[in-house]
Amino acid sequence: MSELSQTEALERANAAAEAAREAASTAQEAAQAAQGYADQLAAGAGDIALQAASGSGMIEPFVFLFSIFVMAIFVGYYVVWSVTPALHTPLMAVTNAISSVIVVGALLAVGVDLTAGDGAMMARIFGFLALILASVNIFGGFMVTSRMLAMYKKKQR
């Protein structure tokens, strides 16, 4: 190996210094860009936190009502399957009474004036569906109750 002259060593040192300056400049630009991204993320997180705090932890109405619906399904399933046969007739009578209240509400929904607003037609449609389904439920309930009561009658010879 040959030794470098003083001028060659000085030129290489100057080139290395220039490369170091360029690297430092690039690093500074990257740091500024990263700071900009961090500021944007912090602002976004702050907005999300502000929205969550302003909502005061309230649950969306759909999620709340859907969870009640799911719980009602489970409770109804376990209540119906745990009823003894002796209690079946009174339970059917109560079910028919509840269905009759549904029929009254459905009749009110079907009778909504169509000029009442945007949802009046939907109220009439759903009211009609509720009226049909509740009527079927009442009819079926009376049929089942009649059969259950027939089981307790003495057979005539």
One-character DSSP codes across 102-155: HHHHHHHHHT--GGG-TTHHHHHHHHHHHHHHHHHHHHHHHHHHHHHHHHHSPP
N-term to C-term CA, the chain: 129
pLDDT at 30 over 50: yes
Locus of tokens 């502000």? 50
Nearest 5°: the CA angle 64, 69, 72 is: 125
Structure tokens at 5: 């002259």
- Residue for token pair 């009609």: 128
pLDDT, residue 121, reads: 84
Amino acid (1-letter code) at residue 128: F
Q: What is the pTM of this model?
A: 0.43
Confidence at 105, pLDDT banded by 50, 70, 90: confident
**Is residue 149 a contact partner of residue 89, using CB atoms and an 8 Å limit?**
yes
Average pLDDT over residues 43-62: 66
Pair of tokens at residue 81: 């399957």
pLDDT at 129 over 90: yes
Radius of gyration of the chain (CA): 39
Residue 144's Cβ-side half-sphere holds a number of Cα atoms within 13 Å equal to 16
Two tokens, residue 92: 């059917």
Average pLDDT (59-85) is 82
Which residues are CB-neighbours of 51 under 8 A, at least 6 positions away?
A: none
